């Protein structure tokens, strides 16, 4: 395990969920996205908090993420938002995981295996209305859905799409919504109906939520970060984590001394430095080298020199500090929120969160 740790604050996640709920319609449910280990926090901790809040539907990116959650949470609904591989079919059937269908060949395969085992698999079809990634292309979607509906061992309970640019408020999202509605209306003419229709990610919830849909898929907002500056100006959520470590060593160095690899920082005065137990092996990347600061005993301590694999060095001149003192790396404090780190490093906020290493200890508070 690493020197650094994170606290996941249940009250902050609940606060963020309440803010998200204020943006949706009464008939809409939340499909909480907890892929990538809950965006780098801790998926099981987040699911626990949300289940206690009454949320019972969760989205992940792989069957293995789904199975990890299913081990602890037997009654919740879990959808894998990626299409399955043939060798994964049995895992869906034995664990009651909802699958995503994007082509007829795999639909026929899972239907056949489900039939042979006396099972019915729950499924949603993903339609590519402009993301250009996963999903059946829009022009083929009606035909695919009609064929899937004929397969007796698939319960096709939903259809969804995904927005690539809802967070930047462009007309393209409106075009996607229009296409999706047109598809569903065509299917209604053939008496093909669905329990769930969904499209809105975090940006979509804020700017493009539509009563046509009855599920929304919050991700980044739930964790207290923003996918764009436009979203940040439109809604106020709270950094869900505190990432922290400790001072491992303190020393005084002379004017003209160099600090860390590459000697990229040289002191212009005598200085007191602290060596902090966090580095790029924790997910605190070298893009933070000579860039940004931590909080130590309520004071800003500037990062100096290159971030190392296990350590980051800070200037603690004028700060009362001792070995073992807590160092706050990321929290709901000006300058070290998730989006603050994103802006100063050029990383997207998703990378800041999901990049926190598996060796970093995690605690639900």
213 pLDDT more than 90: yes
- The percent of residues in the chain predicted with pLDDT above 70, rounded, is 100
Please report, for the domain that includes residue 44, its CATH number: 3.20.20.10
* Backbone conformation region of residue 114, classed left if phi is above 0, alpha if psi is from -120 to 50, else beta: alpha
Rounded distance between C-alpha atoms, residue 296 and residue 316, angstroms: 8
Which pLDDT band, with edges at 50, 70 and 90, does 49 fall under? Answer: very high
Q: Is residue 169's pLDDT more than 90?
A: no
Q: Does one domain contain both 143 and 288?
A: no
Q: Which pLDDT band holds residue 339 (cuts at 50, 70, 90)? A: very high
Q: In the structure, what pLDDT confidence band is assigned to residue 170 with cuts at 50, 70 and 90?
A: confident
Question: Quick one: 109 exposed, middle or buried, by C-beta within 10 A (0-12, 13-18, 19+)?
Answer: middle
pLDDT for residue 285: 98
Return the pLDDT at 6.
98
Domain membership flag for residue 234: no
Do 263 and 215 share a structural domain? Answer: no
Same domain, 271 and 344: yes
CATH of the domain at 351: 2.40.37.10
Residue 88: band (very low, low, confident or very high) from pLDDT cuts 50, 70, 90:
very high
Task: With CA atoms as reference, report the closest residue to 277 among 306, 249, 311.
Answer: 311
Let me know if residue 16 belongs to a domain. yes
**Kind and range of the H or E element at 234?**
helix 229-234
180 and 245 both lie in a single domain: no
133 and 265 part of one domain = no
**Both 189 and 99 in a single domain?**
yes
What is the tens place of the pLDDT at every residue in 249-271? 999 999 999 999 999 999 999 99
Q: Indicate whether 236 belongs to any domain.
A: no
Domain range holding 122? 10-225
**Domain co-membership, 100 together with 50:** yes
Mean pLDDT of 150-174: 96
Element of type H or E holding 364: strand 361-364
Check whether residue 196 and residue 322 sit in a common domain: no
The total number of structural domains that make up the chain: 2
Tens of pLDDT, residues 220-239? 999 999 999 999 999 999 99
29 and 151 fall within a common domain: yes
pLDDT of residue 175: 98
- Is residue 1 one of the residues assigned to a domain? no
Instruction: Assess whether 355 and 262 both reside in one domain.
Output: yes
Q: What pLDDT sits at residue 255?
A: 98
Tell me the mean pLDDT in the region 319-333: 98
| Residue 279 belongs to some domain of the structure | yes
In a domain, 232, yes or no: no
Work out the average pLDDT over 322-332.
98
Mean pLDDT for 191-219 is: 98
Query: Rounded CA gap, 188 and 212, in Å?
Result: 13
**pTM, two decimal places:** 0.96
Number of other CB atoms surrounding residue 240 within 10 Å: 29
Same domain, 178 and 283: no
Q: Which residues are catalytic?
A: 35, 261
Q: Are residues 213 and 246 in the same domain?
A: no
Q: Are 274 and 296 in contact (CB under 8 A)?
A: yes
């Amino acid at each position: 395990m690493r020197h650094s740790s994170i606290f996941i604050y249940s009250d902050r996640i609940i606060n963020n969920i309440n803010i998200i709920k204020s943006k949706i319609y009464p008939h809409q449910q939340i499909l909480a996205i907890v892929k990538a280990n809950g965006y780098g926090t801790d998926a099981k901790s987040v699911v626990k908090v949300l289940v206690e809040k009454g949320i019972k539907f969760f989205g992940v990116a792989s069957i293995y993420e789904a199975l990890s959650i299913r081990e602890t949470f037997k009654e919740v609904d879990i959808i894998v938002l990626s299409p399955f591989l043939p060798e994964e079919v049995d895992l869906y059937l034995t664990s009651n995981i909802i699958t995503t269908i994007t082509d007829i060949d795999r639909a026929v395969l899972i239907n056949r295996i489900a039939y042979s085992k006396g099972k019915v698999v729950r499924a949603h079809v993903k339609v590519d209305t402009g993301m250009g990634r996963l999903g059946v292309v829009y022009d083929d979607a009606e035909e695919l859905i009609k064929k899937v509906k004929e397969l007796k061992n698939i319960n096709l309970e939903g259809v969804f799409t995904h927005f690539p640019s809802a967070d930047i408020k462009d007309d393209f999202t409106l075009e996607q919504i229009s296409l999706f509605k047109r598809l569903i209306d065509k299917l209604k003419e053939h008496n093909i109906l669905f329990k769930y229709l969904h499209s809105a990610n975090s940006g979509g919830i804020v700017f493009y939520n539509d009563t046509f849909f009855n599920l929304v898929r919050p991700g980044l907002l739930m964790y207290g970060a923003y996918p764009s500056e436009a979203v940040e100006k439109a809604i106020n959520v709270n950094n869900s984590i505190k990432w922290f470590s400790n001072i491992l060593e303190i020393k005084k160095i002379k004017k003209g001394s160099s600090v860390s690899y590459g000697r990229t920082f040289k002191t212009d005065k005598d200085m007191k430095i602290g060596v902090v137990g966090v580095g790029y092996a924790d997910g605190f990347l070298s893009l933070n080298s000579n860039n940004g600061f931590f909080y130590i005993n309520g004071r800003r301590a500037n990062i100096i020199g290159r971030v190392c694999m296990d350590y980051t060095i800070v200037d603690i001149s004028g700060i009362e500090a001792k070995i073992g003192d807590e160092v706050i790396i990321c929290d709901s404090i000006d300058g070290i929120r998730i989006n603050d780190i994103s802006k100063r490093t050029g990383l997207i906020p998703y990378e800041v969160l999901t990049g926190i290493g598996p060796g970093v200890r995690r605690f639900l508070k």
